[in-house]
Amino acid sequence: SRARSRGAAGAALLPSMLMFGVILASSGLLLMIERGILAQVGPPPLHPPAGLSRRDGRDSPAELELEVLRDTRNRTIRALCGQRSMPRSVWELPPGQRRTVLRHLLVSDKYRFLYCYVPKVACSNWKRILKVLDGALESVDVQGKMDHKSDLVFLGDMKPEEISYRLKHYYKFIFVRNPMERLLSAYRNKFGEIKEYQQKYGVEIVRRYRKNGGNSAGDDVSFSEFLQYLLDEDVERMNEHWMPIYNLCQPCAVRYDFIGSYERLHADANHVLEHIQSPSFVRFPERQAWYKPVTAQTLHYYLCNTQRRLIKELLPKYILDFSLFAYPLPNITSEFCRQ
């Protein structure tokens, strides 16, 4: 009976997020969102699944929850990536997708690791760390605008045999974030603060989706207009700041050794730094004083003041990010938004 009990626990924990893969292939996605069914899928249960132990019996609830979350992500990725149609290596990807992922894999030959950077998931700080490890930057605390190109080594700039060797032998990691929170962060940053993005994307978005919007400087793009633009945009042609993480880093073609999360940024970053045996003086930078984080309340406000149709129609484009990395779909039910 104990064996049956352990099996039942494992089956119960087989990620609730796995249901997303099934839903994605059906026509029932929008109906389930409309009825609030998917929005009610919460974090994984707190008890450990079969195969996970409490070690000395004194694990804290937070540690157990983290262990379950990582197990959920690993199981989901294995289940999806085990499908015959999914790529087994970067060489099985179409040329455009291969270029994208190789352009986002940063290399440290000295410490033998590959980091797939995802914009709006603390990638600037990770790039600072890579520059410090390589000796191009004195400290992670050096002030000044981050140069996202110089003093960094990209896997895509290497020869095929060099690429294959590093993919096979180097430690590979990635950091992920709640997809809607990441989109909101990109929206507020790029259209609220960066003139280059206002001129390049904002002007076009307003012109396309607003009557008499030809006089806009691109600095007044609404969140709804931004989401409509994403809905109409081809995923493969998206700007990297709002391209789905799956498309940027291809977790089926690249088998990552560690998936860190924005929600546990410093703890997960320290885990990586310890694993690669970085010098003790190298630490993950603290958040800049000027940075305005996206809070749960801010996300709630934006989502509940946006047409539900837009959010529901946009979710399938980001469904793999939600499901693979175990993030619940946003709750946009009328009951929740009235709170």
Please state, in angstroms and rounded to a whole number, the distance separating the CA atoms of residues 28 and 312.
Answer: 12
Residue 121 structure tokens: 């998931």
Q: What is the pLDDT of residue 43?
A: 40
Instruction: Give the pLDDT score at 146.
Output: 66
CA proximity to 204, closest of 225, 188, 231: 225
Evaluate if residue 4 carries a pLDDT over 60: no
- Paired residues of 115 in beta bridges: 106, 173
The residue written with tokens 């026509």 in the block is 27
Contact call for residues 243 and 235 (beta carbons, < 8 A): yes
Higher pLDDT, 285 or 181: 181
Beta strands in 142-288 (DSSP E): 171-176, 258-261
DSSP string, 229-266: HHHHS-GGGS-TTTS-HHHHH-TTTS--SEEEEGGGHH
Rounded distance between C-alpha atoms, residue 182 and residue 176, angstroms: 9
| pTM flag (> 0.75) | yes
**Dist. CA 27–CA 115, nearest whole Å:** 36
Total length of the chain: 339
pLDDT of residue 59: 67
Reply yes or no on whether the pLDDT at 17 is more than 60: no
pLDDT of residue 63: 81
Is pLDDT of 229 > 70?
yes
Q: pLDDT: is 53 or 214 the higher one?
A: 214
Measured CA to CA, the distance from residue 254 to residue 247 in angstroms comes to 11
234 falls in which pLDDT band (50, 70, 90)?
Answer: very high
- Max mean pLDDT range (33-47, 72-86, 221-235): 221-235
* Cα 61 to Cα 57: distance, rounded to the nearest angstrom: 11
A 10 A CB-CB count for 17 gives 23
* Percent of the chain residues topping a pLDDT of 90: 60
Question: Taking a C-beta distance cutoff of 8 angstroms, is the pair 329, 315 a contact?
Answer: yes
Distance CA 278, CA 272 (A): 9
pLDDT at 245 over 60: yes
Of the candidates 259, 247, 255, the one whose C-alpha atom is nearest the C-alpha of residue 327 is: 259
154 forms beta bridges with 106
Are 124 and 146 in contact by the 8 Å Cβ rule? The answer is yes
**pLDDT at residue 165, as a whole number:** 98
Q: Is the dihedral of CA 176, 178, 181, 186 positive or negative?
A: positive
Of 165 and 5, the one with more pLDDT = 165
Question: How crowded is residue 262: how many other Cβ atoms within 10 Å of its Cβ?
Answer: 19
Work out the percent of the chain whose per-residue pLDDT is above 70: 80
* Average pLDDT for 175-197: 95
Location of structure tokens 């294995």: 78
Strand order in the sheet with 258-261: 105-108, 113-116, 171-176, 258-261
Per-residue pLDDT tens for 279-307? 999 998 887 666 778 999 999 999 999 99
What's the pLDDT score for residue 339? 80
Assess whether pLDDT exceeds 80 at residue 41: no
DSSP character at residue 38 = G
At residue 106, does pLDDT exceed 50?
yes
For residue 27, which amino acid is it?
A: S
